[in-house]
Amino acid sequence: MFQTDRARNYRQFGEEHTQLRKTVRDWCEKSLKPNAHEWEEARLFPREVFKQAADLGLLGIRMPEELGGLGLDWWYTVAYAEEMVHSTLAGLTMALLVQSDMATPVIHEIGDSYHHQNYLKPAIAGQAIAALGITEPDAGSDVAGIRTTARRDGDDYVINGSKTYITNGTRADFITLAARTGGTGHDGISLLMFPTDTKGFRVTRKLEKMGNHCSDTAEIAFEDCRIPAKNLLGNEGEGFYYVMQNFGGERLVGALTAIAGAQRMLDETIEWCQTRHAFGKNLMGFQTVRHQIVQLETELEAGRQLCYRTVQLVIDGDNAWREIAMCKLYCGEVATKVVDRCVQLYGGMGYMDECTVSRVFRDMRLITIGGGTSEIMREILTKLCL
């Protein structure tokens, strides 16, 4: 029972959510999945996929209609995130989610009409590719350690420094960029809208990754890059707090896709076990296999319910920092465990590169690292729970 069918059992979803799920799943299975091997081998998917996603309304689900969005709530984002796993391309899903749920929500929340018209609206329409520029060689989960600088010079900011592990980084049209405008530690970090056609900007290296091969990940550098001061997003010096707020949505959507991706893989593994025979019976005939599967189903359901509870808190406007950190920690750990067990149940076939579970295994490994490691989530939770 795949995610579209399973969602019928949850009261949060109605007919309109089902229609969105069907739209996303059909697109994934007809237009994306057939190209999975080719795009993974090419280490990149076509730029036109962003436009296709935009035409389906997927790049602005929660954005206002006047900016080209759908004006819907978080439950529609849940439907979108859960169904994207049917593309079997985690890298592509990640790239689109960076566009729709990581690099652009903060523009909507704290940007003005200039930012909305020149950056957010083109991103929602799929006319511009967005990236989020936070991580640096010496500052990953430790955002307060950012060293890239943005120095005010008259009506401009002059930017120097570097970023790494930037999804969409080789072909982004703009970057929602965190840079230090003064001060130390948490103080003095600001967010700026950075167009990548700015003189002095360059992609220094396209990075090769363990998984998520079809998405581009880059090291980028800024050398005396001059951008207008009006490209400052929100208030100068408050960027750290904007980034932390933005991390909430990133981590929640990451947890949702992790559970959905692991569930899809477990569903396929169940089908495999029902047809694969050993010692005169199919694998589901062995108690040890059945017990493993129901244990994994239970842990996935627990993760799903934790995510759904957290989504409702966000919709209600309640403080959900604790629950978001729990989602990121628990769902990431569970999803990687589930896919690992799926490889084991597939046996030798699961180790073959041609088998989908092999790709999902290496792709899923990122979920306990990106957007804040499991270790960082535990440290956050010690402050929120103890």
How far apart CA 92 and CA 216 sit, in angstroms, is: 9
Domain map (residue ranges) of the chain: 3-124, 130-236, 241-385
How far apart CA 107 and CA 332 sit, in angstroms, is: 27
In CATH, what class is 130-236? mainly beta
Q: Give yes or no for a contact between 196 and 263, defined as CB atoms under 8 angstroms apart.
A: no
Walking along the chain (386 residues) 10 residues at a time, the average pLDDT comes out as 60 93 97 96 97 98 97 97 96 97 96 98 98 89 88 97 97 97 88 98 97 97 98 95 92 97 96 89 92 96 97 96 97 98 95 92 96 94 94
**Architecture of the structural domain at 3-124:** Orthogonal Bundle (1.10)
| Residue (of 296, 311, 309, 321) closest to 80 by Cα position | 311
At residue 273, the pLDDT reads 93
How far apart CA 39 and CA 284 sit, in angstroms, is: 34
How far apart CA 254 and CA 270 sit, in angstroms, is: 24
How far apart CA 168 and CA 42 sit, in angstroms, is: 15
At residue 142, the pLDDT reads 77
How far apart CA 130 and CA 127 sit, in angstroms, is: 10
**β-bridge mates for residue 162, sequence order:** 221
| Residue (of 30, 34, 68) closest to 51 by Cα position | 68
- Identify the CATH assignment for 241-385 out of 1.10.357.10, 1.10.150.120, 3.30.565.10, 1.20.140.10: 1.20.140.10
Tokens of 358: 């092999």
At residue 112, the pLDDT reads 97
CA atoms within 13 A on the CB side of 94: 27
**β-bridge mates for residue 20, sequence order:** none
**Would strands 156-167 and 217-228 be described as parallel, antiparallel, or unpaired?**
antiparallel
At residue 100, the pLDDT reads 97
Active site residues: 250
Query: Residue 235 has what DSSP assignment?
Result: S
Tokens of 46: 């076509």
At residue 178, the pLDDT reads 96
At residue 263, the pLDDT reads 96
**β-bridge mates for residue 179, sequence order:** 190
| Residue (of 213, 220, 165) closest to 44 by Cα position | 213
> 283: helix, coil or strand?
helix
At residue 7, the pLDDT reads 59
